[in-house]
Amino acid sequence: MKIIDVLTEYGKRSLDRTFSYVYRGDKRIEPRFRVRISFGAQEAVMGFVLAVRDTKKTIKELEEENGYAFKEIHDYDIIDEEPLVDDQMMELANKVSQYYLAPFIGVLQAMLPLSLSPKTSALRGPKIAYEQWVELVKNDENDLTDKQIEMLRLIASNTPILKKECGSIAILKKLLEKGRVKIILKEKERFHIRPEEREEPHEMSLEQRKAFDDIRNSDKGVVLLEGVTGSGKTEVYLRLSEKVLEEGKSVLMLVPEINLTPAMVEYFSRRFGPKVAILHSELTPAERYDEYRRIARGDASIVVGARSAVFAPLKNIGLIILDEEHVESYKQDNSPYYHAREVAIMRGEIEGCKVLLGSATPTLESKARADKGVYEYASMPHRINEKALPHTEIIDLRDRKVFSKNSEKLSAPLIAKIKEKLDKGEQALLLINRRGYWTGIECPKCGHIFTCPNCGGNLTFHQEDSMLKCHHCGFVEKYPEHCPSCGNTRLRRVGYGTERVVKELQDLFPEARVARMDSDIGKVSKNVEKILHEFKDGKYDILVGTQMIAKGHDFPNVTLSAVVLADIGLSLPTYRASERTFQLIAQAVGRSGRSKRVGEAMIQTYNPDHYAIKNGASQDYGAFYLREMQQRRITEYPPYWNCILLEFSSSKEEKAVESSMDFKKEILGLGIENLNVLGPITPFYSMNNGKHKRVLLLKFKKRESIDSYLRQLLQRFSSLAGVDISVNVDPLDY
Ligand code: ADP
Ligand code: ZN
């Protein structure tokens, strides 16, 4: 008989240990197999085998010895025929779990594609090669809830739309029941590479050559490549990859988001053909499984993918590249809250391969490590062919004279510049990092402000479907005819986002072709690719968008890039507010003038003297870095100090308060040197799903000095009834 030690699929801290079962059959069962177990009152729970031990004892003897019942695993409970992960991946999962203080099973679940994941839902769902789409049947909003109307409007304007892009399955079911929409099956379209002529490799410039050599020759595990926008980082990645392939090894290429960086995928696909596997978010579970298996078999030697591709089962890795390492989407925003850059570095250590981090505006953390010599540093300070950086003008919005009577959002100089570009047949990018039409609605008569009843956030009016939405928790309601508290019908509408800027441009330039790109558009992923390609092909004159348009795109005909309101992110309650603002502006400016013509940029702001805005406008990363490092040292934030965010949530507010205060008292009571604890803070969004939240921010110098204490405390506090604690190591907010 065998004793089987398994982890359950429940990623709770208090359950982060193995439970023992017995198996009497003779099927193959090994560590890293999935098995179905009964657990507590649950009949079919997924288990992940960590150890298999032989025993000569009987069940009865075991039970007497241990004092608990040993349940049995049967032949039909054994799910896999091969271990799910190899030694290296186990080691990686282990490191990730240790560093992020995350239950091991949760890391495995984040690591494996759904159909291989150790959770029950993996076994449901058809493994099909076709996709489910939703088609509009009847556009009738009678007796629908606001949520249902929101979805119906989305479907109506995008029909047919991928089922998974509709949102909540429960709401979709209602629409199906009520006969407003129907499901159709379509054969899956593969992510297709645009059939452009195969591009010949560029002859590397001197600067590229030097960076290439510096990276190759370094004996350090991690290299930071700081290259200004348009310096030709992609070609360096391609050349390095070529070399690694020649040496018989494989390459892992990480990008912030595949949808937003189709160019990088195209470059790799065109240069390396069928050797490339693309882990695209649009893959169906069945396809993802196929790609995963193909990579695991060794049939692909280059993997291009976003955050979770850092866990691709690629073997014999010779190089891991993380492009645009500063982009925050590399950090998962739910448990285990891992950052693909840190995981890539862990993986590089395990695999014994180099990790290359590329950016025009590296995070302070990475730059500081390069400064200290922990990372190798390579740089490309000039654009290809010595092309000049864009000429940039900062427009001070505090001076009302910059506005003409035509617009209160776009200044006269900006309007004139857009006109000039339109006349010349050149393109413009307008960045406004806020979506929607009006970002606040209030009643001027009684002062009522429209806020979210769930979380207290402001409601934004979206013209696309005429709904008021909470950007934080997803609450929606129909745009009201009158004020709910006094009945007044003239509501004041304030603030503006992407939709409003598009409207402004259409009024000012009726002949211009204007497109919009933000995460509302991005809900339907086919639209993202379509709009980006069409803009690149010149089907639009102006592209208005959120930060989605600031990322690594190469639009050759863009000669003006403008930030409509640079201040939006500055007042956010996070230590990264300046860094985000700087990056956004620098990246936006960097989109301009990448081809033959010299680019221009305009930044509209109420804070023209703020260093993040000034340095962003001039793309002076060095100056920004020095200034912001001072700030971080004074305020005791990364990279000088490390942070861990603990969120206590409970359906009873006093429990959240009490447990967080107790936790703080206990950890401070240990007298650890260089440890500060902020809080308990009531977060801006203080409720979620009926639970009250409080957070503590731990700030410390050395992880080793708090690690074991923190683990013990977490273990103990996690078993408190009625309180959940989530742990976010290296949080990006607060
Ligand atoms: P980055 O990612 O550093 O902003 P890209 O890799 O997008 O820059 O390169 C900018 C432009 O320069 C691209 O259009 C690319 O095709 C071109 N380019 C890159 N390397 C060379 C080279 N050695 N010679 C000529 N053009 C190049
Ligand atoms: Zn809300």
Residue 192 lies in a domain: no
Which helix (H) or strand (E) covers residue 246, if one does? helix 233-246
Please state which of the ranges 30-39, 275-284, 409-418, 613-622 shows the lowest mean pLDDT: 275-284
Query: Relative to the alpha carbon of 596, which ligand is closest?
Result: 1
- Nearest ligand to the CA of 459 is 2
Kindly report, residue by residue over 418-466, the tens digit of the pLDDT.
999 999 999 999 999 999 999 989 999 999 989 888 877 889 999 988 8
Kindly state the percentage of the chain with pLDDT values over 70: 97
In terms of domains, do 24 and 137 share one?
A: no
Tell me if 202 CB under 6 Å of ligand 1. Answer: yes
What is the rounded distance in angstroms from the CA atom of residue 462 to the CA atom of residue 335?
31
Ligand 1 atom at shortest distance from the alpha carbon of 199: 16
Nearest-angstrom CA–CA distance, 643 and 637 = 7
pLDDT exceeds cutoff 70 at 195: no
For position 357, what pLDDT does the model report?
A: 98
**Is 255 inside a domain boundary?**
yes
Cα 573 to its chain centre, rounded Å, is 19
Distance CA 266, CA 271 (A): 8
Instruction: Kindly report whether the peptide bond that precedes residue 201 is cis, defined as omega within 30 degrees of 0.
Output: no
| Contact by Cβ (8 Å): 603, 393 | yes
pLDDT score recorded for residue 345: 98
To test ligand 1's pocket by mutation, which of 196, 205, 235 has the most ligand atoms within 8 angstroms of CB?
235
Q: What is the pLDDT of residue 720?
A: 87
| The ligand 1 atom nearest the CA atom of 595 | 14
Cα 261 to middle of ligand 1, angstroms = 15
Tell me the average pLDDT across 18-38: 94
Read off the pTM: 0.88
**Domain co-membership, 413 together with 295:** no
Contact 229 CB / ligand 1 (< 6 Å): yes
Q: Do residues 380 and 391 both lie within one domain?
A: no
Residue 198 within any structural domain of the chain: no
Indicate whether 701 belongs to any domain: yes
Flag whether pLDDT at 196 surpasses 80: no
Cα-to-centroid distance, 688 and ligand 2 (Å): 8
Are 601 and 609 in contact by the 8 Å Cβ rule? The answer is: no
How far is the C-alpha of 340 from the C-alpha of 646, rounded, in Å?
Answer: 21
Q: Treating both helix axes as pointing N-terminal to C-terminal, what angle do 87-99 and 340-351 enclose, rounded to 10 degrees? A: 140
CATH of the domain at 687: 3.30.70.600
Decide: 180 and 136 in contact? Cβ < 8 Å.
yes
Question: How large is the average pLDDT for residues 1-7?
Answer: 95
Asked if residue 201 is part of any domain, the answer here is: no
User: Which pLDDT band holds residue 188 (cuts at 50, 70, 90)?
Assistant: low
Contact 65, 22 (CB under 8 A): no
Per-residue model confidence as pLDDT tens digits over 478-496: 988 889 889 998 999 889 9
Which of the listed residues 447, 476, 495 is the one where a domain comes to its end?
495
H-assigned helices in 352-497: 364-371, 412-424
Our mutation pick for probing the ligand 1 site, out of 210, 384, 536, counting the most ligand atoms within 8 A of Cβ, is 384
Determine the 3-state secondary structure of 724 from DSSP.
Answer: strand
Over range 8-37, report the average pLDDT: 92
Query: Are residues 543 and 485 located together in one domain of the fold?
Result: no
Q: What is the pLDDT of residue 126?
A: 47
Q: Is the pLDDT of residue 301 over 50?
A: yes
Cβ 476 vs Cβ 470: under 8 Å? yes
Does residue 706 form part of some domain? yes
Count of domains forming the chain: 6
Q: Provide the pLDDT for residue 284.
A: 72
Cβ neighbours around 459 below 10 Å, total:
24
pLDDT over 60 (residue 304): yes
Of the residues 611, 632, 653, the one at which a domain ends:
632
Ligand (nearest to CA of 206): 1
Residue nearest to atom 23 of ligand 1 (CA): 204
Which structure tokens are listed for 303?
Answer: 């993997």
Q: In this structure, are 662 and 677 located in the same domain?
A: yes
The radius of gyration of the chain from alpha carbons, rounded to an integer in Å, stands at 27
Gap from CA of 474 to ligand 2 centroid (Å) = 6
Nearest residue by C-alpha to atom 24 in ligand 1: 202
Count of CB atoms within 10 A of residue 525's CB? Answer: 17
Residue 157: domain span: 130-187
Please check whether residues 90 and 6 belong to one and the same domain. yes
Q: Residues 179, 232: one domain? A: no
User: Quick one: which atom of ligand 1 is closest to the CA of 380?
Assistant: 3
Does ligand 1 lie within 6 Å of residue 227's CB atom?
yes
Q: Which amino acid is at 590?
A: G
- C-alpha span between 554 and 539 (Å, rounded): 16
pLDDT in tens, 506-520: 999 999 999 999 989
234 lines ligand 1 (CB under 6 A): yes
Residue given tokens 């006093």 in the structure block? 654
Q: Ligand 1 within 6 A of 720 CB?
A: no
Lowest mean pLDDT among 12-16, 142-146, 313-317, 705-709: 12-16
What CATH code is carried by the domain that includes residue 250? 3.40.50.300
Pocket of ligand 1 contains residue 208 by CB under 6 Å: yes
Domain assignment present for 196? no
